[in-house]
Amino acid sequence: MKITKLLGVAATAVVATGALVTGTPAAASSESSNTALLNSEMVPALQRDLGLTAGQALARIQSETAAGTLEQSLASTLAGSFGGASYNEATGKLRVGVTDAAKLDQVRASGAEAELVAFSASQLDSTVDKLNAGERNADGAITGWGVDTKTNRVTLSILEGGSGSVNSFLEKTGVDRSTVSVVETTSVPTLKYDVRGGDAYYINNSSRCSIGFSVNGGFLTAGHCGPGTVTGSNRVAMGSFARVSFPTNDYGHVRVNSNWVPRGIINNGTRVSGSNVAATGASVCKSGSTTGWTCGTVGAKNQTVRYAEGTVYGMTATNVRSQAGDSGGSFIAGNQAQGMLSGGNSSVTYFFPVRPALSATGTSLVLG
């Protein structure tokens, strides 16, 4: 199935300009260049997350691109005296550190801001290399390290109260202690996993079902899969059922922990962009953890299904193929979410519509 993704109004307006506005982030101007915008979703995201106007976002993209090009040039010409660089969002310029005062004017002449620093980029990289080589000697309280060009130091992060192990680690690695800055943190880094429609999850480390659709803070699935605690397809702790409605309905709402990020996609890459109800006879596809991606057509709606475990009302029939373990999986028509797989027999598969499940759980779809 070929999916066509429609751009949002704001993104479409940006693409229509065909150019990036020049100038600093603080002052968007009407000047333009022929630089094409590579990702139409970038400007709206910058507006939302950095508090910029569309013009400021476009101007920032262009000035950051120019700063990156200038950094590569200066790193080459300054060689051993190059002390790293960072983007100054207040001025829209590149800030460059140099260890040789005689080269400050050279940096300024290029259009960048210049700062005299103690350590070269190669010295700081060497410190990181030594820490990496001695990584096995690091105490569990040490959560990581890396170069911070803004402070011209290698920043080593450690959990609060664990600073006693730092000196021993640094001594074993043989690094120059003056190149390292220690900062405390309140939490350890953790891997992030995507919540995607159609992926498997396990209930109470036993039975398996499938994710329906990502919603804010979790996902919707079949109610008959719950209740209980949930682990992902990788067997990593995922969360637990916040609400189960079965029988009468067949929907469940799972809240996920901070290791999991709900995404507005199905696990084959299909994006979810809404929940417009497909007409009877329209094509529809399903993603489930047993049979994968299967398609068919929407049949009769408002169906009452009498399972041995209880009766469910208001379901939609399809001729889409499914098997055990697909329960809860995503039914989608084009890019529009339709519902979560409930059950069926050898010729009919039923899904519970997503809209009443969203309304009942007070959740909203995460869109892709």
Alpha helices in 87-185 (DSSP H): 104-109, 121-133, 166-173
Give the residue from 46, 101, 92, 55 showing the smallest Cα distance to 70.
92
Give yes or no: 139 in active site: no
User: Which one of the listed residues 210, 224, 245, 287 is annotated catalytic?
Assistant: 224
Residues 6+ apart with CB under 8 A from 308: none
Is residue 112 within 8 A of residue 74, CB to CB? The reply is yes
Q: Interior CA angle at 41 toward 35 and 43, to 5°?
A: 60
Indicate if 327 belongs to the active site. yes
Are 139 and 165 spatial neighbours (Cβ–Cβ below 8 Å)?
yes
Distance CA 12, CA 15 (A): 5
Block residue for tokens 């992030």: 192
Is 253 known to be catalytic? Answer: no
3-state secondary structure of 27: coil
In the chain, the amino acid numbered 138 is A
Q: Which of 129, 135, 127 is nearest to 178 (CA)?
A: 127
Active-site residue (options: 287, 327, 330, 342)? 327
Catalytic residue from among 63, 250, 275, 289: 250
Question: What is the rounded distance in angstroms from the CA atom of residue 113 to the CA atom of residue 242?
Answer: 53
Buried b (16+ CB within 10 A) or exposed e, 122-134: ebbebbbebbeeb
Distance CA 66, CA 45 (A): 21
Sign of CA dihedral 229, 355, 358, 304: negative
- The rounded distance, in Å, linking the Cα atoms of 139 and 126 is 21
Which residues are catalytic, by number? 224, 250, 327
